[in-house]
Chain A
Amino acid sequence: GNSVTQMEGPVTLSEEAFLTINCTYTATGYPSLFWYVQYPGEGLQLLLKATKADDKGSNKGFEATYRKETTSFHLEKGSVQVSDSAVYFCALSDLPLNTGNQFYFGTGTSLTVIP
């Protein structure tokens, strides 16, 4: 079946530190992979995505590379800011075998960046 496993938090970093949040997946087809971010009191927002192997998604200084050989999609940022404090969710959509467009979300990783 399909599933996503991401590193448990919470993660606390100092401003300008390097960030890695690990995400691995299991899929029966050819999934698209996503990172969503949830700021306090808000809904989830799409941060970046990759639709095929070796694609790199990037946005706001964050990036993640779709690694089929290791079934991973780790989120990285070279220098975090206080404003990056949020909960980050890894997710997959099992295209093209998908007949229902269902997403599979990880459990979320809480990030706190301190000045």
Chain B
Amino acid sequence: DAGVIQSPRHEVTEMGQEVTLRCKPISGHDYLFWYRQTMMRGLELLIYFNNNVPIDDSGMPEDRFSAKMPNASFSTLKIQPSEPRDSAVYFCASSLQGSSYEQYFGPGTRLTVT
């Protein structure tokens, strides 16, 4: 399997622009997670899905952030409008119920908002 795929790997944008991050989970996995990692705050869970349904979005920092999972093989995290404090590495992870729930992480998207 190719593992969790994220795109783009790097994104540089100006404040106020819309940013869309993409994730393809491992085929057959039924959980998908979005995390944000910064030096100051460490690894934060933003939202997760089970069978394409959002289960907990309490980690989404503001209404500027939204996430969707239209099907089992694709998810997006959108920031609109972006701000400099959104600069971070965003990780997507997936897991399969019944497999000890270990999560498999993608390589991350490094977002820089200027």
Residues of A within 8 A of B (CB): 32, 34, 36, 42-46, 49, 51, 89, 93, 95, 98, 100-103, 105, 107-108
Contact = CB atoms under 8 A, between A and B. Distances in A.
Interface stretch (B11-19, B60-68, B70-78, B98-106): B98-106
Interface of B: 4, 31, 33, 42-43, 45, 48, 50, 55-56, 91, 93, 95, 97, 100-108
Given A43-B93, A103-B33, 9 more contacts: A42-B107, A43-B107, A44-B43, A45-B105, A89-B43, A93-B101, A100-B55, A102-B45, A103-B103
A71 to B, nearest CB: 19
B101 A108 contact: no
Contacts of A42: 107-108
A46 B95 contact: no
B43 A32 contact: no
7 contacts: A43-B4, A43-B93, A44-B103, A89-B43, A93-B101, A100-B48, A108-B43
Cβ-closest 7 pairs across A and B: A43-B105, A44-B105, A93-B101, A107-B42, A43-B107, A100-B55, A101-B31
A17 B39 CA distance: 27
A101 B105 contact: no
